Amino acid sequence: MGRLTQEQIDLFTDEGYLILDDVFAPDDLQPLRREFEARIDRKLAAMQAEGCLTESYPDESFERRLTRIYRDSKENGEAVIAELEGPAGGGHHGIEMFRMITHPKLLAVVESLVGSPEIIGSSVYRVRPKVPGIGRGVVPWHQDSGYFMQLCDTQMILTVWIPLVDATEHNGCMQILPRAHRQGLVTHHTGGNAGFLVIEDTELPPTPAQPVVAAVPLGGAVFMTNLTPHCSTPNYSDGIRWSVDLRYQGADVPNNVGLWPAGEEDEAQLEQFQMACYPPEADFMVQSARHPANVMDYDTFVKRRAAFEQVKSIAYPKRGWTPVPLHAD
Cα dihedral angle (295, 16, 130, 21), rounded to 10 degrees? -80
Residue 1 pLDDT level (bands cut at 50, 70, 90): low
3-state secondary structure 262-288: CCCCCHHHHHHHCCCCCCCCCEEEEEC
Q: Using one digit for the tens of pLDDT, what is the confidence trace for 190-243? A: 999 989 999 999 999 988 889 999 999 999 999 999 999 999 999 999 999 999
279: DSSP letter? T
CATH of domain 6-25+91-316: 2.60.120.620
Helices (H) and strands (E) in the chain — how many of each? Answer: 8, 13
| Inter-residue contact 160 to 238 (CB < 8 Å) | no
- What local confidence, expressed as pLDDT, does residue 245 receive? 94
Q: Which helix (H) or strand (E) holds 246?
A: strand 241-250
Q: Tell me if residue 130 falls in helix, strand or coil.
A: strand
Q: Which amino acid is at 98?
A: F
In Å, what is the CA distance from 194 to each residue of 92, 300, 327? 21, 33, 19
Q: Using one digit for the tens of pLDDT, what is the confidence trace for 253-292? A: 999 998 998 777 677 888 888 899 999 889 999 999 999 9
| Inter-residue contact 207 to 151 (CB < 8 Å) | no
Domain ranges (residues) in the chain: 6-25+91-316, 31-85
Q: Tell me if residue 302 falls in helix, strand or coil.
A: helix
Q: What pTM, to 2 d.p., does this model score?
A: 0.95
Strand partners, 157: 249
Q: What is the largest CA-CA distance in the chain?
A: 60
| Inter-residue contact 219 to 100 (CB < 8 Å) | no
| Inter-residue contact 236 to 35 (CB < 8 Å) | no
Q: Which amino acid is at 221?
A: A
Q: Using one digit for the tens of pLDDT, what is the confidence trace for 129-146? A: 999 988 778 999 999 999
